[in-house]
Amino acid sequence: MNTMNKKLLLGKIILCPLLISGCVTNQESTQETGEIIWYIAERPVPVPEDISTGLRDYITNTVQPDVKAASQFKPGTIMEWRDKKNSANARRIGKARELMKALPVNVTLSQINGVTVRYVVPHEIDERHKNHLFVEIHGGAFLVNGGDASILESMLIATRLKITVVSIDYRTLPEFPFPAALNDVVSVYRGLLTERPAYSMILGGTSAGGNLAIASLLKFKELGIPFPGALYLGTPWSDLTKTGDTQYTNEGLDRLLVGNKGLLSEAAALYAGTTNLLTPFISPVYGQYENFPPTYLVTGTRDLLLSDTARVHRKLRQASVMAELNVYEGMSHADYMYATDTPESRQVYAELNDFLLRHMQ
């Protein structure tokens, strides 16, 4: 093949996706539904260039996620679930206690309406937040992060926003499936309403905590309970089915969740029990968001739940809710909670704070 022909052929290969409709190297149509499925060949994914040195080092020092190994998470008995939970919690409780010593914060154990909570109070409270309370709901697939581990993000929020936080240590799997966690959040919120106006509170959390925050507002609407002044949704696990583009495109890229098959799918089934996964109190992306309070959302380009977050944002905007979506280059699921020394993590909470100061009374 001469040089000119090679150049022409190369040009056709490069331009094919732009000029020829449906130019896909490997696709099929399923007989059952007729849907088109693309199969993307294995390809290199370099570390993003336009991120901080800290986040780049964090990604570089992370072992590439093993999708096959992660998908094999399948406890068969309640005892096996407990063992997995206790093992994960032991590590996270250790990290939380280290952070408790390092940060200028006081933690007090308490109860509200029979539910365990922890008040997390920074040594310095911003005058603009003196009448505000952040009600935080931890993540962990409804399974892990109980006990002292429940305040990992609460401590970051308290010290970076200089605001008092109450962290809800709700009941978790495997002993307490739906609706135990949701009922605990509602009980705590109702108890707090006896002490302060709804508009003075921010409700929110990351991952499963984001799920519970949205589901709680759906429950508040059903019960006629006033909404909080603002909502924080950190990469919310808003759909417990494997739905959403990035459940597929970010499989193996997300260093924390890795993929849906394994922990997520197993925890979703255990949490829902005999209740349909599409029930809005379980998968709140299917709920109605009219009159929701101003909402701050955050996710990353490598987050398996990027689509969950984007879909919630669209639902909020379709309901004419003030909602701000922040997507960070290179971040996997909840990296802002773990790569805490990076500029990206600091910016997440700084922008959350700016958002609250603009929209809270």
Burial code (b: 16+ CB inside 10 Å, e: under 16) for 315-333 equals bbeeeebebbbbebebbbb
Task: Determine phi and psi for 66, rounding to 5 degrees.
Answer: -105, 100
Q: Distance between CA atoms of 289 and 315, rounded to whole angstroms?
A: 7
The answer to whether 133 and 202 are in contact (CB under 8 A) is: yes
Collect all residues with Cβ–Cβ distance below 8 Å to 98 and sequence separation of at least 6: none
27 close to 39: Cβ distance less than 8 angstroms: yes
- Rounded CA separation 245/308 (Å): 9
Nearest to 119 by CA among 162, 171, 154, 170: 154
Q: 297 by DSSP, 3-state: which?
A: strand
Q: Identify the CA nearest to 235 among candidates 206, 257, 256, 209.
A: 206
356 touches 161 (CB < 8 A): yes
Q: Return d(Cα 320, Cα 55) in angstroms, integer.
A: 34
Asked whether 297 and 214 are in contact (CB, 8 A), the reply is no
Tell me the C-alpha distance between 102 and 114, whole Å.
Answer: 30
- Asked whether the beta carbons of 238 and 214 are under 8 A apart, the reply is yes
Amino acid at 282: I
pTM of the entire predicted model: 0.91
pLDDT digits (tens, 9 = 90+) for 325-341: 999 999 999 999 999 99
Distance CA 68, CA 289 (A): 37
Tell me the pLDDT tens digit for each residue of 256-279.
999 999 999 999 999 999 999 999
pLDDT at res. 33: 66
The residue count of the chain comes to 361
pLDDT at 12: 34
pLDDT at 164: 98
pLDDT at residue 36, as a whole number: 87
pLDDT less than 50: residues of the chain: 1-24
**Residue-range domains of the chain with CATH:** 67-359 (3.40.50.1820)
Please tell me the predicted confidence (pLDDT) of residue 17. 36
- Residue 163 phi/psi, 5-degree rounding, is -140, 150
pLDDT of amino acid 35:
81
Whether 149 and 87 have beta carbons less than 8 Å apart is answered as no
Any bridge partners for residue 38, and if so which? 27
Nearest CA-CA partner of 166 in 217, 143, 200:
200
